[in-house]
Structure 1
Amino acid sequence: MIHHFAIAVKDFDTSHHFYTEVMGFKLVAGVKRMAPGGGWTKHMFYDMGRGKFMAIWDLKGIEGVQVQPDEWRSAISKGLGLPGWINHFAFECSGEEEMQERKQRWLDAGYHVSETDHAFIRSIYTYDPDGNWIEWTYDTRPVNEADRIEAEEILADDTPSTIPDYEGTFTRSTAQKYRAPPRQPAR
């Protein structure tokens, strides 16, 4: 069972706004410490619900000490040279009503939304400010023995798929995205 996951972000203030105002997660804890190897960091924790957390690293204190600002990428897929949808974060919602509320919240905040019906879940997707693929999803039915058998068959079959990618809708937002104002240097 996952307790939390943590990601580093390029623009902490914009990402903080995304995860609190757009995703609706509450900031619940923070740690500010010297970093191994020099510099310092902030490790900020957000409540995702059901006692589970995510954390955002603010690495400005190690930039120029351990890493160069222009040399690291924060998107977990694109930073590795993969398409943005490969590695992603899926957050659970209660059902269709909450999913539609989440979708509208994304659209109102300037984020485009893709929707997909999978075999046993329904999902919506957008990119966070760092280019990470973010998903809200809910179960449409329980996973059953037939699903497990199909998974075993897929696992053993290395022939190319002939089934097209999922079809779904894409809704383009017309709202302006939030961008944090530049921070003033510490004195």
Structure 2
Amino acid sequence: MGFTLKKVVKRQTPVGGWTKHIFYDTGNGLFAIWDLTGIQGVVIEEGDWQGGIGNGLPYWVNHVAFDCHDIGGLEACKQRWLDHGYHVSEVKHEFIHSIYTRDPDGTLVEFTYDTQPLTEADEREAAELLADDTPAQVPDYEGVGHHSPHYQARKEREARE
């Protein structure tokens, strides 16, 4: 589609296996997709899912994210969710800061803003990680508090085991 590869984050998932979270610059913000190769046979069985929203994938894979531009925008979005009775989880990723909640249908929703510009070094690293299909060695991000979507996913996995 002509988008520029800007960043790839390769990490272990909260429920086993690993993924690549791939970010492209669209010219009007970032577009993010997942490479889920590392969860097949661990989180989901091959053949039990197809691409697209839902289809047996973990809830944290398919979500919608909106740019709120800065910390002030993030705090305003967070307060709005809290005022409407939603639980809010917060995660400081390495280059973005995000808050999450689930909508009434259970879909994960994210508001985020960039905390640092992505550089040419990020683009070079992204190209290397995109080509690298060895399992991730870096653990998943930890959220703030025990109500983060990552903590919840880990607890769900432990309950099933």
Q: TM-score, normalised by structure 2?
A: 0.55
Aligned partner (choices 161, 172, 178) of residue 136 of structure 2: 161
Query: Using a 3 Å threshold, how does the CA distance of structure 1 residues 148 and 169 change in structure 2: closer, same or farther?
Result: same
The one-letter code of the counterpart of 2:143 is G
**Secondary structure in 2 aligned to 1:100?**
helix
**In 1, distance between residues paired with 2:145 and 2:109?**
15
Structure 2 runs not aligned, ≥5 long: 1-51, 148-161
Q: Which position in structure 2 is the counterpart of 1:99?
A: 74
Superposition deviation, residue 149 in structure 1: 0.9
Residue 67 of structure 2 is aligned to residue 88 of structure 1: no
Q: How does 1:33-182 map to 2 (within 5 A)?
A: 77=53, 79-170=54-145
1:113 touches 1:170 (CA, 8 Å); kept in 2?
Answer: no
CA distance in structure 2 between the aligned counterparts of 1:170 and 1:130, rounded to whole angstroms? 23
Query: Which whole-Å CA distance do the structure 2 matches of 1:80 and 1:136 have between them?
Result: 24
Q: Secondary structure at the match of 1:81?
A: coil
In the TM superposition, residue 171 of structure 1 has moved relative to its aligned partner by 7.3
Could you say which structure has the larger radius of gyration? 1
User: Deviation digits for residues 151-179 of structure 1, max 9, x if unmatched?
Assistant: 1111111111111100121476xxxxxxx
* 170 and 111 in structure 1: CA distance in 2 versus 1, 3 angstrom threshold: farther
Unaligned runs of at least 5 residues, structure 1 = 1-75, 173-187
Q: Any runs of at least 4 consecutive aligned residues in structure 1 with deviations exceeding 2 A, and if so which? A: none
Alignment deviations for residues 58-78 of structure 1 (CA, whole Å, 9 cap, x no partner): xxxxxxxxxxxxxxxxxx74x
Using the alignment, how far apart are the partners of 1:147 and 1:84 within structure 2? Answer: 27
* 2: CA distance, partners of 1:155 / 1:83: 22
Residues 102-144 of structure 1, C-alpha deviations (whole Å, 9 max, x = no match): 1122122121112112222111111111111111011112111
Q: Taking structure 1 as the reference length, what is the TM-score of the superposition?
A: 0.48
Give percent identity, aligned residues only.
Answer: 58
Aligned residues: 98
DSSP 3-state at the match of 2:141:
coil
State the Cα RMSD in Å.
Answer: 2.3
